[in-house]
Amino acid sequence: MMQVENSDIAELLEEMADLLEIDGANPFRVRAYRNAARTLLDIGKDVREMIEAGEDLTKLPGIGKDLAQKIQEIVETGTFSDLEEMRKKVPRELTELLDIAGLGPKRVGALYRTLGITNSEQLLKACKEGKVSQLPGFGKKTEAKILEALQTKFTTTQRFLIAEAAPYAEALKSYLLEADGVKQVVVAGSYRRRKETVGDLDILVTADPESNPVDYFVRFPRVRDILAKGSTKASIVLKNGMQVDMRVVEEESFGACLHYFTGSKAHNIAIRKIAQKMGLKINEYGIFRGEERIAGEEEGSVFEILGLDYIQPELREDRGEVEAAAAGKLPDLITLEDLKGDLHVHTSYTDGNATIKAMAEEAKALGLKYIAIADHSRRLRIANGLDSSNLLKQVEEIDKLNSEIKGFTILKAIEVDILEDGSLDLPDDVLKRLDLVVGAVHSKFNLSKEKQTARILRAMENPHLSILAHPTGRILLKRDPYDLDVDAVINMARETGVVLELNANPYRLDLNDVYCRQAKEAGVKIAINTDAHSPAEFLNLFWGIGQARRGWLEPKDVLNTLPVKKMLKALKR
């Protein structure tokens, strides 16, 4: 069998979905591939090992017999025949255009069929020549937006979602720990600070003097290119295009080196200034008084010797954490174990791939005490949104399940669309029958800042709205936030008691860390929710917690750290 990871298989399934969508295929067929890709990324099992063990892939959520056969074909050959046929029909380079703001599959298909555009360079030239704006469905504004996105693309380095980087980071860590003589392996940099995207990976290793971890490192099976290789450090590029830098560090310097390479640069400068005022020198080799090394083996010694409380990696952005550490006022950051529930969960009633019962049982198995079933409302037709009648049928099912599942609560909710005028997609007499209402914008992303803000503020004034979902609407690396006065939204949340969501889906992580802290300082509660569409996606709470910690959030700042009765009481407007 091929040496393929789940992420490799998912990437091919996503490519198939993209090509089908560009070609105008049935949306349900497209969604089946996307759901399968999502399942493979979430299951926590190695699919190749499952196949070798003879396990039935059709027992996985969203994987039918046809898709199971395609996955097995990928594991055996590295691709599958249907994808190769689609690549002949639709150039695979077109999928890269989907990452450009303002372009969806239909527009990409139109650009290909009318102008023969297959890549970013050709699209940039066509925009500059004014050809794109002449096509039906585009116009001057769209052309300008595409041009701006392309210019940004060509002037920035490639970045990866932290959840995309994680399988490679953890696989490398496990791989290196198997090398003879290796003692410690830590992935540092922005990955350790849990930034939402990372540009590369920095790995620090300690090892016995007679061992050679560098040689072992460059033989990692996922290596595409070796950029540099010395006796104590090396740089490689993985097959997904991510660069990884590794260095072997002396044990007596490991703590100082870990602090230095964790960063951020601004944080390190702030720390260095404090050391200089004390007559000390600090760098990646240790802390020195003159020529004497006085600390550096343990990372904690860097802070201790400077009279600072230990600063968690997520806070190291020079946003006041050094001053707070000096004053003993660092936040008691939230942890995954603090969460009691998830207030934004989808099921097979709309576009999820599991039943209410299956979602509840998985959440309970993971240690949660409650979930809120917040399927889409009728406006979102592509997701089979619920009208009032179907929502009330779901309410009846939830009541029945609550009498069957002990020690766990399923809450009745809806992710109701916020319409262009700020009204909600379902009538108040239906919404008032629910435990809570999650409101979200799913359309008209290009409204002016004034109109978009007014739309959301009006929705927040509705006494039935409990939580504002993914408040800025961004999709990381794909779609910018809509133009919104976030200050006004936070102020309205403080006035009305509406809770702001930190959507834990790694493609969103919305609110961002800066806005999370701003909401905390305004006294506005945050709900960390997965927006899960399958049982495996409850694990995305991990990424939400990372973002919350970067935003200085403590358990008291987060609504769903409360037991269910206290949480519902806190939600009352």
Contact 217, 176 (CB under 8 A): yes
Residues of each domain in the chain carrying CATH 1.10.150.110: 6-155
CATH architecture, domain defined by 262-327: 2-Layer Sandwich (3.30)
Backbone angles phi, psi at 67, to 5 degrees: -65, -35
Planar angle of CA 154, 269, 330, nearest 5 degrees: 105
For 442-491, write each residue's pLDDT tens digit.
999 989 999 999 999 999 999 999 999 999 999 998 888 999 999 999 99
Residues of each domain in the chain carrying CATH 3.20.20.140: 336-571
User: 292-295 and 286-289 as β-strands: parallel, antiparallel, unpaired?
Assistant: antiparallel
List Cα–Cα distances, 159 to 156, 401, 473, 541, in angstroms: 9, 43, 20, 22
Contact 188, 202 (CB under 8 A): yes
Burial of 273 (0-12, 13-18, 19+ CB in 10 A): exposed
The stretch 233-253 carries a mean pLDDT of 93
Is the per-residue pLDDT at 1 higher than 60? Answer: no
For 527-569, write each residue's pLDDT tens digit.
999 999 999 899 999 999 999 999 999 999 999 999 999 999 9
Residues of each domain in the chain carrying CATH 3.30.460.10: 160-248
Torsion (CA) 65, 66, 67, 70 in degrees, nearest 10: 120
CATH architecture, domain defined by 6-155: Orthogonal Bundle (1.10)
Is the per-residue pLDDT at 3 higher than 70? Answer: no
Q: Where are the beta strands (DSSP E) in 180-285?
A: 182-187, 197-198, 200-207, 223-229, 233-238, 243-248, 281-283
Q: Give residue 74's Cα distance to chain centre.
A: 26
Tokens read off for 401: 């399940």
For 130-172, write each residue's pLDDT tens digit.
999 998 888 888 888 888 888 877 766 688 999 999 999 999 9
Is the per-residue pLDDT at 353 higher than 90? Answer: no
- Rounded CA-CA distance 373/434 in Å is 10
List Cα–Cα distances, 412 to 375, 381, 399, 437, in angstroms: 10, 21, 9, 9
Q: Quick one: which of 298, 343, 361 has its CA closest to 469?
A: 343
- Rounded CA-CA distance 552/515 in Å is 10
Planar angle of CA 35, 38, 40, nearest 5 degrees: 110
For 269-323, write each residue's pLDDT tens digit.
999 999 999 999 999 999 999 989 999 999 999 999 999 999 999 999 999 999 9
Specify the fold of 336-571: TIM Barrel (3.20.20)
- pLDDT classification of 435: cutoffs 50, 70, 90: very high
Tokens read off for 216: 């072992």
**CATH code for 160-248?**
3.30.460.10
